[in-house]
Amino acid sequence: MHQTHRADLAALASLAPRRLNTFIHTGWIASVEAASPVNAKGEPIPWFTYPAIDFLESKIRADWTVWEWGCGNSTLWWAAKAARVFSIEHNAEWHQKISADLAANAAIALIEDPNIYASLRAIETAERFDVIVIDGEQRNLCARSAVGLTKPTSLIVFDNSDRKEYRDGLAFLGAGGWKRIDFFGLVPSYAYRTCTSVFYRDESLLNGGRLPCDLESSLGQTLSQVLGE
């Protein structure tokens, strides 16, 4: 890493006591140094906004199955928390890199043909998934295919939803009765603000669960949790 960048990171790390510094305990500094989305322990996390990661982590169940367009550290993260993950990837080099670290409950299909990447024609499945992640190529087309993979209780995670080029896919899901929560915020490795949106139909997603003061996160503790308030 360039020496100037190291100095900048050191300055960020000095802004607050280490145990209270969000750049440290979320793993943001670690992800900059690794040039990859990781938490403070170096464990893989998705390239979603931090608020979206916290929200999803509070909802994930160990028996969930996940379908994902666009593999990466998110594939490894889902595999560590859910029963099974199946990803679609268009880039052969990236497919090989992520496949090297896969757990037994994850699989990645390489589909380089843009004519079938989002159509599901290459992968015939009658299975319905608990989570569908749209974070790869042809996201507007993927949004249309995603609904055919869902259960009534499923979530659809649409990353980088603040981009105008994805307006069509977002509008399609909304017109189909899917409700949307937008999570704007910082992302691992970069100092810009973007948005990850979560679509759902089952209102029970928003009900119950542990209170914020009781939640544990791979992104570290909140200020109040650290201070024991």
Q: Do residue 70 and residue 50 come from a single domain?
A: yes
CA torsion sign for 23, 24, 25, 31 is: positive
Q: Do residue 14 and residue 67 come from a single domain?
A: no
The domain that holds 86 is classified in CATH as 3.40.50.150
Residue 193 scores a pLDDT above 70:
yes
Residue 220 lies in a domain: no
Residue 28 lies in a domain: yes
Q: Do residue 63 and residue 165 come from a single domain?
A: yes
pLDDT tens, 91-130?
Answer: 999 999 999 989 999 999 999 999 999 987 656 677 899 9
Q: Mean pLDDT of all residues in the chain?
A: 90
**Token reading at 41:** 């322990």
Q: Do residue 22 and residue 62 come from a single domain?
A: no
Between 24 and 48, the more confident residue is: 48
Q: What is this structure's pTM?
A: 0.91
In order of 62, 110, 145, 197, the CA distances from 52 in angstroms are 18, 27, 23, 8
pLDDT category of residue 25 using cuts at 50, 70 and 90: confident
pLDDT for position 6? 56
Q: How far apart are CA 112 and CA 108, in angstroms?
A: 12
Q: Do residue 17 and residue 96 come from a single domain?
A: no
pLDDT tens, 63-84?
Answer: 999 999 999 999 999 999 999 9
Query: Range of 73's domain?
Result: 46-208
Q: Do residue 140 and residue 178 come from a single domain?
A: yes
Between 105 and 222, the more confident residue is: 105
pLDDT for position 4? 46
223: CB partners within 8 A, 6+ apart: 20
Q: Do residue 104 and residue 29 come from a single domain?
A: no
Residue 216 lies in a domain: no
Q: How far apart are CA 46 and CA 138, in angstroms?
A: 19
Q: At what angle do helices 73-81 and 92-99 cross, to 10 degrees?
A: 40
Number of domains comprising the chain = 2
Q: Do residue 32 and residue 132 come from a single domain?
A: no
Find the helix or strand (DSSP H, E) in which 65 lies. Answer: strand 65-69
Q: Do residue 4 and residue 52 come from a single domain?
A: no
pLDDT for position 215? 85
Q: Do residue 50 and residue 150 come from a single domain?
A: yes
Q: Do residue 11 and residue 57 come from a single domain?
A: no
Q: Do residue 124 and residue 24 come from a single domain?
A: no
